[in-house]
Amino acid sequence: MEEDMRALRIIRNALSVLGVVWLCVLIYKETKSAMTFSFPWVWEEKGRAVSPSGECELVIYEGDRGAMSSSAYVSFLVKPGDKVDPNNCDYYEAVLSSSHVLPKVRWEDKNHLVINTAGGYVTHERPYSREFKVAIEFQNEPLSSQWSEP
């Protein structure tokens, strides 16, 4: 009888600990969710630049969090016609994350992309895409007439 009571106490204590952990995780997720909903990122596709081979496209999204934020830009290499949801991406999936100024792009050839962020603030660059075998060169120089809108 005493062994049965001891086993029940152990089970009760274990379930209590699991309940507290579950409650803490729930509170954390709800708090994080409430903060995100107060100023969510809203993203709009701003342009696409198709590679000379047609195997991939650079797609640029512009995002903001309302009147008190500046514009942010994220650029991804994707298969033709594919879309990306920047809110549900890993930070490192983008080939470029920048702000303030829409990046300008130029394909040198099917394996070489040049992105100019003149006047913008860069927060992340990924200089190579393994999936598409594209080297990406980043510049932050005044624009010449050879640059095109994405």
Looking at residue 148, its pLDDT comes to: 58
Q: Give the Cβ contact number of residue 115 at 10 Å.
A: 24
pLDDT tens-digit map of 100-114: 999 999 999 999 999
**DSSP 3-state percent helix, strand, coil across the chain (nearest 5):** 30, 35, 35
Looking at residue 91, its pLDDT comes to: 79
Mean pLDDT for the stretch of residues 45-49: 96
Distance of CA 88 to the CA centre of its chain: 7
Distance of CA 11 to the CA centre of its chain: 43
Q: What is the DSSP letter of 10?
A: H
In angstroms, the CA 32 to CA 60 distance is 27
Mean pLDDT for the stretch of residues 4-20: 88
Residue type, 115: I
| Predicted confidence (pLDDT) at residue 85 exceeds the cutoff of 80 | yes
Ranked by mean pLDDT, the top range of 14-18, 38-42, 106-110 is 106-110
In angstroms, the CA 64 to CA 44 distance is 9
| Predicted confidence (pLDDT) at residue 139 exceeds the cutoff of 80 | yes
> What is the residue extent of each domain of the chain?
1-38, 42-139
Say if residue 60 is exposed, middle or buried (CB neighbours under 10 Å; 0-12, 13-18, 19+).
Answer: buried
